[in-house]
Amino acid sequence: MSKKLFSALAVVMSMVFLAPAYAEDNVRIALVVKALGIGFFEAANEGAQEAAAELGDVEVIYTGPTSTTAEGQIEVITSLIAQRVDAIAVSANDTQALVPILKRAQQRGIKVISWDSGVAEEGRLVHLNPSSNELIGRMNVSLAADALEQKGVSSGQMAILSATPTSTNQNIWIDEMEKALPEFSQLELVDTVYGDDMADKSYREAVALLRNHPDLDVIVAPTTVGILAAAQAVSDQGRVGEVYVTGLGLPSELAGHVASGAIHNFAIWNPIDLGYSATMIAYNLVKGNSNDQQVPMGRMGVAELDAGGSAAMSDPFIYDASNVDEFASIF
């Protein structure tokens, strides 16, 4: 073989063997969401991709079931274990049901965290809350009180429109709302219903709330899917100004309903930052850059873990007519 041919071959061979070897060195992080097609999780994926671009050696696999069920997530996670991803970061549809499959993932060496909506401690190493749960609960009640003020009444009825009844974050926030309620004696909680973070079911539940509680003043939906559906229902039923909608939502999805008056104000933390932070935590666990108390989160600082391995990212912001348009182009 001529020297030239040999070196040409060597170049080709090294391309063949080195290219996949480089890709295999990538840290593969699966971002498992409650369901595909939810704007909040798509924004989180944007942040996850940003983290991957910043780190350089990360591939983010954005995935989830088509509806918000634990069974759907178990199927997705089973397939991720077969694909031998390095880390799984899940927003759970159920606190307990995912534990066995996530334990199996961990036995196979996969680093597991939950974010947004947690799994029980045995199922994961770390859980990242968007904010303090107590703060989120209290803020939702205080937004309902703002709605009464906006309506110009001194007391009134509120109902909660949640996501699925097994969703960890929703249930904790409902608990925290109930704990905060006695401090807001002007508010009477008359019902709590579940739209499963599906647009159509949330819409139907909101219409039913309006029908079942003719004197209802405020619907509080601590879910981006629920708040949007409830605002739509209030406006379709011609109840704007009589029934206010508030809770947790995305400026990009709600700006029109703030303009129409169906929503006076609402809150959310930055979902892009949340996806970014979850990805950074997963990466640093894979790389061993953490201890029992701290995990770095890139530009978001350090996750300070409590005894149960949970951390909180940052405080939510309140949006109203004065700032919603400015943020609507971001998330």
Name the residues that contact ligand RAM, by CB under 6 A: 34, 38, 40, 91, 116-117, 163, 169, 197, 223-225, 248
Distances from the Cα of 169 to the Cα of 164, 241, 309, 326, 330, angstroms: 10, 30, 16, 28, 24
Closer to ligand RAM by Cβ: residue 225 or 254:
225
What's the min distance (Å) between Cβ of 198 and ligand RAM? 11
What's the min distance (Å) between Cβ of 245 and ligand RAM? 14
Closer to ligand RAM by Cβ: residue 90 or 102:
90
Distance CA 235, CA 283 (A): 44
Closer to ligand RAM by Cβ: residue 49 or 167:
167
What's the min distance (Å) between Cβ of 160 and ligand RAM? 13
Count of other CB atoms within 10 angstroms of residue 100: 12
Closer to ligand RAM by Cβ: residue 166 or 223:
223
- Cβ–Cβ under 8 Å, residues 111 and 124: no
What tokens were used for 4? Answer: 């030239």
What's the min distance (Å) between Cβ of 222 and ligand RAM? 6
CA count, 13 A, side-chain hemisphere, 325: 4
What's the min distance (Å) between Cβ of 304 and ligand RAM? 20
Numbers of helices and strands, H then E, in the chain: 11, 14
What's the min distance (Å) between Cβ of 128 and ligand RAM? 12
Best CA proximity match to 198, nearest among 1, 43, 26, 65: 65
Distances from the Cα of 273 to the Cα of 51, 115, 267, 301, angstroms: 9, 12, 15, 11
What's the min distance (Å) between Cβ of 15 and ligand RAM? 44
- Cβ–Cβ under 8 Å, residues 176 and 134: yes
Closer to ligand RAM by Cβ: residue 38 or 258:
38
| CB closest to ligand RAM, residue no | 40
Closer to ligand RAM by Cβ: residue 34 or 257:
34
Closer to ligand RAM by Cβ: residue 69 or 91:
91
Distance CA 254, CA 260 (A): 10
What's the min distance (Å) between Cβ of 274 and ligand RAM? 8
Secondary structure of the chain: what % helix, strand, coil (to 5)? Answer: 50, 20, 30
Q: What size, in residues, is the chain?
A: 331
Closer to ligand RAM by Cβ: residue 40 or 244:
40
What's the min distance (Å) between Cβ of 165 and ligand RAM? 12
- Cβ–Cβ under 8 Å, residues 296 and 277: no
Radius of gyration of the chain (CA): 22
Distances from the Cα of 115 to the Cα of 98, 142, 185, 269, angstroms: 14, 25, 33, 13
